[in-house]
Structure 1
């Protein structure tokens, strides 16, 4: 018996009846010989964490566009926080931690530069629309390495369905779905307080009384509640009381932070950058990098330009905008 088979046996002995077993995976896009050391879901996790799209997350906006401070969240730190919360919940519920981690690490690979404003712009200017969860799936199925990462069905399902309006087929995917919400609400509050857009005293008192006065207390309240309410169930959920308080906090963040006048002014600038780059490369497709240009005949110019822009980090988009549209002095010696 090799190491992978031993791990698969342990999964059958230890994990919940509701867990996704790696030995029962529905398989990959393309058949591939199994690893003698790692399970199928462990391989998914490793492929995601080593891919270029994952590394680019460190320079993609979470909420604050190109923040100067060292401690503001980026799309990468958000992803790691989601993964940690999700792993905690999965371990407590005896679900498959490897699958949970793979989904969590891959769930935002398709996010645009400048956060949700980038998604909104691309959704409006492309004929086919744009949703970051759908594009995350495109990244792992098509774009990464020019042929995708060949992940398992379970991981791809979790990535596609990680948004609030969707429902993943596995409990591990449902854990990531809820952990994403827990993570961004709490760390966005933390970042907004650091940016002095709000203070702790501004937070709705009835929510704080239920969830806690500190960042750690609120996360602990939400995570504990999910575990308590999901134990022994074929469903991942919060109690009604915690869910209502959490949703009220989310609405508060939209009103006071996400739709803040300062934030919206910066978003207008970011939107302009994306719109101008998109128009430019539609007109001058020959200026695209070769690895994108070669796909035009197959996917069409709109899709290829969208793929290119969606994959950019904030700083790459800003630098490219400057190089493309700003005049440069001649070097005369």
Structure 2
């Protein structure tokens, strides 16, 4: 008996009736032979972790653009925190940990340089708009490639969870719902932590009723939210918070939008970031053939030029975009040797 089949049997015997069993996956876009050791969702997780797109997340903005301090979150550390919270919830609810981990690790692969600032400007520039969840799916389906394969060819359930981790469409699995709620728990709390570190807000300015219910400190608030989700979801075919905890969580989120996400001091470099992306976009519209050949080869001849340019810029890290802008638009010093 192969190890994968043993694990599939364990899933069947141990997991909740509402769990997405790996042996029942709806499959991949291109059929592949199963692995003898890993389940299908384990393979998806591994493909994401080993991808270039995943590695680039370490140099992409979470909230504060190009932060100098070592302790500020990046898009990569955010992703890891979402994965950790997702696994905790999945284990407690006896849902599929491998599936939630794969979705969580892949959910933000389509994020632009400079975080949501980059997303907003690309959404304005591109004729068809731009949304990072759609881009994350495009990354795993087409843009991430190896010598032997275009795209990561992930399972249906992982692709569904990545696409629907935000937006109006609901995920088809409870594991997908877990990542949606874990994403919210993670970013609200770690953004508070980073904002306090950056002196944008002070601990005593946080809504006191939220702290009384959820906890004063970072770990206490995360624990309160996680425990509440477990209590309100265990043995049920849905994932959610109680009305009380959801109310105070949303109130904290509203506070963060008012005081941090839309704060001029916190977002002081936003206009510069927008300008960089806009200039790069317009440059490649006029100089399309200057795009790397490796990137252009990913597309068919009749595909929109704007799509190809947008994909290229969205894949950049903050520092790559800044350095490319300097190379293209900032005069170099002339030296005589």
TM-score interval (norm. to shorter) = over 0.9
Contact 1:86–1:104, Cα closer than 8 Å, also in 2: yes
CA distance in 2, matches of 1:157, 1:167: 9
Contact 1:296–1:304, Cα closer than 8 Å, also in 2: no
By how many angstroms is 1:164 displaced?
5.1
Which structure 1 residue ranges, 5 or more long, are not aligned? Answer: none
Number of positions where the alignment pairs a residue of Structure 1 with one of Structure 2: 333
1:299 is the counterpart of 2:315? no
Q: Which residue of 2 aligns with 1:192?
A: 195
CA distance in 2, matches of 1:328, 1:111: 31
CA distance in 1, matches of 2:265, 2:302: 41
Q: Deviations over 1:260-284 (max 9, x none)?
A: 1123331111000000000001110
Q: Secondary structure at the match of 1:261?
A: coil
Q: Which residue of 1 aligns with 2:335?
A: 331
CA distance in 1, matches of 2:296, 2:167: 34
By how many angstroms is 1:332 displaced?
2.2
Larger helix proportion of the pair: 1
Contact 1:285–1:293, Cα closer than 8 Å, also in 2: no
The equivalent position to 1:154 in structure 2, one of 143, 157, 169, is 157
Q: Secondary structure at the match of 1:192?
A: helix
Q: Deviations over 1:88-130 (max 9, x none)?
A: 0000000000000000000000000000010000001110100
Q: Secondary structure at the match of 2:301?
A: helix
Contact 2:107–2:136, Cα closer than 8 Å, also in 1: yes
Q: Secondary structure at the match of 2:76?
A: helix
- Normalising by structure 2, we get a TM-score of 0.97
Q: Which residue of 2 aligns with 1:18?
A: 18
1:217 is the counterpart of 2:237? no
Equivalent residues in 2 for 1:1-333, closer than 5 Å: 1-145=1-145, 147-163=150-166, 165-294=168-297, 295=299, 297-333=301-337
Q: Secondary structure at the match of 1:330?
A: coil
CA distance in 1, matches of 2:302, 2:143: 13
By how many angstroms is 1:205 displaced?
0.6
Contact 1:226–1:238, Cα closer than 8 Å, also in 2: yes
Contact 1:59–1:313, Cα closer than 8 Å, also in 2: yes
Q: Secondary structure at the match of 1:94?
A: coil
Q: Deviations over 1:142-190 (max 9, x none)?
A: 1001721000000000000001533111000000000000000000000
Contact 1:164–1:177, Cα closer than 8 Å, also in 2: no
Which structure 2 residue ranges, 5 or more long, are not aligned? Answer: none
Contact 2:200–2:265, Cα closer than 8 Å, also in 1: no
- Normalising by structure 1, we get a TM-score of 0.99
Cα RMSD over matched residues? 0.9
Q: Secondary structure at the match of 1:265?
A: coil
